[in-house]
Structure 1
Amino acid sequence: MKDFAMENTYNLLKQLVEIPSPAGNTFGIISIIDEYLHELCIETKWNHRGALLVTLPGKDQNHHRFVTAHVDTLGAMIKEIKPSGRLTMDLIGGFTFNSIEGENCRIETSSGRVYTGTILMHQTSLHVYKDSAKAERNQANMEIRIDEQVSNADDVRSLGIEVGDFISFEPRMELTPSGFIKSRHLDDKVCVVIMLQILKKLHMEEISLPYTTHFLFSNSEEIRYGGNASVPPATVEYLALDIGVIGDGQASDEYSVSICTKDSSGPYHLGLRKSLQQLSEKNNIAYNLDIFPFYGSDASSAIHAGHDIIHGLIGPGVDATHAYERTHLSSIQQTASLLFCYLQSNMMIEGGIENG
């Protein structure tokens, strides 16, 4: 997909990462995506969970495909308003406190008002706490310093801030001259943008798909039950778009598309994996096969929910996942190319046998 507009992709990604959407508070970003698709005259449907579904009829309407990317991100909730006027957090999603130390954040109240703050160790100042570096980064020691004149819990509550209010982290998105994108929440908004751009291309160029295909913008993947709803009974293949992880022992990189062979839920479907490999090789798409040992996806969530589907997972390679993340424009390009080829391929795995 050589004509994939990377400048437009970057601009759309920047817009989406700047919209706070911690799991449990995704109405705003789903509404923006819905509006974007309606402007393209693409029909959408909200499910009861607040996720968004797009269905494109295909030549074969008896065997369906299902593709997901999740809009929800890591975040937190207010656990306690301390007597000092600082806030204690309870984390949403799987990440460590040290990965958000020093980060600016936003606090959204039940009325919709937003306040800013900074996430700090209680013992931050070395001029006061000489053992600050040794203190454990945990819920007891980490707190939010609100950017308001507050000195006690009553002052905080007078602002409308209360236990259970959502906390989101500033993304600090940046594009380097060498083509790297650095930001929080590339997981999984980079794949959301890929899916949006593919939908736009399919619609604008009136490309007919071989199979009826559903595209779900799921909204609770980070809490492990995002993509297990709204899966039509006719669905045969289920492909999740999510990030490939990079680190010691991993094959993924920031320049290729990662094809997951196994995660914490077990192996992904061998037949679909082979099909994705063949499509990559046939179309000169750079790819890596990889295993993600501490990972789950919308596809694995759907398997756990009992759906009789063939599941797969692809995505761009992302460094420092669940922290301040980074990928490269080329990895986005390769992922978009593989998805585009997959959607147009006639071969489907049915009953464990390749057909088409």
Structure 2
Amino acid sequence: MEKKNYIDYIVEETKKILAIASPSGYTKEVAEYVLGEYRALGYEPKLTVKGGVLVALGGKNKEDAVMLEAHIDTLGAIVTEIKSNGRLKVSPIGGMNANNAEAENCRVATRFSGTFEGTCQLSNASVHVNGDYSDTKRSWDEMEIVLDEKADSREETEKLGIMAGDFVCFDPRTTVTKTGYIKSRFLDDKLSVGILLGYAKYLKEENITTERMVYQHITVYEEVGHGGAASIPEGVTEVISVDMGCVGDGLSCKETQVSICAKDSRGPYNYDVVTGLIKAAKDNDLDFAVDVYPYYGSDADVALTAGYDVRHGLIGAGVYASHGYERSHKDGVKNTFELLRAYLG
């Protein structure tokens, strides 16, 4: 199979994964999908106790193994209160920002009564009625979920089966342009899950055995800070997070590149790992950037915080407008995929 077809596969899998709602804490359905896809590729994945997916891809040296991590959990919200007018007050899950959640379509997933459609709006959202519309600070205290149901009181909403603790899942609005741009909420980090599936497919179909044992861990609590804190197999000496590469002012990365992170808000990544990634990118003429992320933490950081004695690194396709309506490019996907191929052998 030509390499470009792996990129096509990655993009298609990413679209499928993006279509399955999965805010942190509500990831069972998407984890089951990813399990099934690994099985279809010929692997034997396991569901971790926390609900993540762990799979061994094979490799010769099991005493110096490397684990690749990406996360399928996303931002979202959770119901905290049913208001007297039947609308819902919510609390964010992860870094979901009220400013860019406004006017977004969403689903409320109840525990026993199915799902209900709605929209996240500013309270009193009609400009022709609310004289303070423009001056109101967009915070979660000022936002509400307006249900697409004839429920205009607390009692009517309760009769639907909606209650505090129900998850609110936002519409990803996924699209891939003719020019190769991938636009969606939650490319962080479902795009990287697609890339890891593509790498697993490549190893299997090309019948490649890497020099080092390679594991993949698809985590489910990264957005709330403890995704990579468990489930690292014995023999793993290196953990690489494959997460979104930051694009923005002060950074050199573009959406068409693979980003190699030298340092994030928790500190520098392992010198030898970063150097090895840069060398692999240079030796293979990949389009890459090395950056320092000012406001960022990864599953690899969390692994060290949890006490694992491992080296760590972070790479990812460039993603603009992180934690909002994000954008990447197929070239960024290709460069990230090729860096994994080059670095792991």
Conserved? CA contact 2:113–2:162, under 8 Å? no
Q: How does 1:179-258 map to 2 (within 5 A)?
A: 179-258=180-259
What CA deviation, in whole Å up to 9, does each residue of 1:317-343 have, x standing for no partner?
100000000011100110010012122
TM-aligned CA deviation for residue 204 of structure 1 = 1.7
Amino acid at match of 1:41: G
Q: What's the secondary structure of 1:318's corresponding residue?
A: strand
What is the aligned partner in structure 2 of residue 26 from structure 1? Answer: 27
Give the corresponding residue for 1:300. 301
Contact 1:4 1:333 in 2 (8 A): no
1:140 matched residue in structure 2: 141
Contact 1:58 1:212 in 2 (8 A): yes
Distance in 2, matches of 1:223 and 1:284, equals 36
Contact 2:258 2:316 (C-alpha < 8 Å) held by counterparts:
yes
Provide the residue aligned with 1:68 in structure 2.
69
Residue 45 of structure 1: aligned partner: 46
Matches within 5 A, 1:91-110: 91-110=92-111
1:126 CA drift (Å)? 1.2
Q: Is contact 2:261-2:315 (8 Å) kept? A: yes
Query: What is the alpha-carbon distance in structure 1 between the residues aligned to residue 57 and residue 189 of structure 2?
Result: 22
The equivalent of 1:347 in structure 2 is none
Secondary structure of the corresponding residue to residue 140 of structure 2: coil
Give the whole-Å Cα distance in 2 for the aligned partners of 1:254 and 1:39.
30
1:111-145 residue CA offsets vs partner (Å, 9 max, x unmatched): 26111100000131111111101101112210000
| Amino acid of the structure 2 residue aligned with 1:204 | E
Q: Please give the secondary structure, in 2, of the residue aligned with 1:299.
A: helix
The alpha carbon displacement at 1:55 in A equals 0.9
d(CA) in 2 for partners of 1:243 and 1:262?
A: 14
Structure 2 counterpart of 1:167 = 168
What's the % identity of the aligned pairs? 38
Contact kept? 1:34, 1:52, Cα under 8 Å: yes
SS in 2 for 1:217: strand
Name the amino acid aligned to 2:61.
D
For 1:209, what is the secondary structure of its paired residue?
coil
Shift of 1:94: 1.4
SS across alignment from 1:133: coil
- Paired with 1:87 and 1:132, the residues of 2 have a C-alpha distance of 19
User: 1:151 and 2:152 equivalent?
Assistant: yes
Q: Normalising to structure 1: TM-score of the pair?
A: 0.94
Counterpart residue number, 1:128: 129
- 1:333 maps to 334
Is the contact made by 1:123 and 1:141 (CA closer than 8 Å) also made in structure 2? Answer: no
Q: Distance in 2 between matches of 1:40 and 1:245?
A: 30
Deviations 1:233-258 (CA, angstroms, capped at 9, x unpaired): 32111110000111111121111100
Deviations 1:129-188 (A, max 9, x none): 111011011122100000000010111111111000001110111111211111001000
* Whole-angstrom CA distance in 2 between matches of 1:236 and 1:87: 46
Deviation at 1:228, TM superposition (A): 1.7
- 2:10 aligns to what SS in structure 1? helix
The residue type paired with residue 224 of structure 2 is I
C-alpha contact (below 8 Å) 2:253/2:259 kept by paired residues: yes
- Using the TM superposition, give the Cα deviation of residue 36 of structure 1 relative to its aligned residue in structure 2, in angstroms: 1.1
Q: Distance in 1 between matches of 2:285 and 2:278?
A: 10
Report the Cα distance in structure 2 between the residues aligned to 1:82 and 1:38, rounded to whole angstroms.
45
Match of 1:284?
285
How far, CA to CA, are the matches of 2:340 and 2:93 in structure 1? 29
Structure 1 residue identity aligned to 2:7: M
Contact 2:43 2:56 in 1 (8 A): no
Q: CA deviation at 1:4?
A: 4.5
CA distance in 1, matches of 2:11, 2:231: 29
Q: CA RMSD in A?
A: 1.1
Distance 1:204 1:14, change over 3 A: same
Aligned to 1:17: 18
**Normalising by structure 2, what TM-score?**
0.97
- What is residue 350 of structure 1 aligned with on the other side? none
Distance 2:167 2:96 in 1: 16
Work out the CA distance in 1 between the residues paired with 2:308 and 2:8.
Answer: 38
Show the counterpart of 1:176. 177
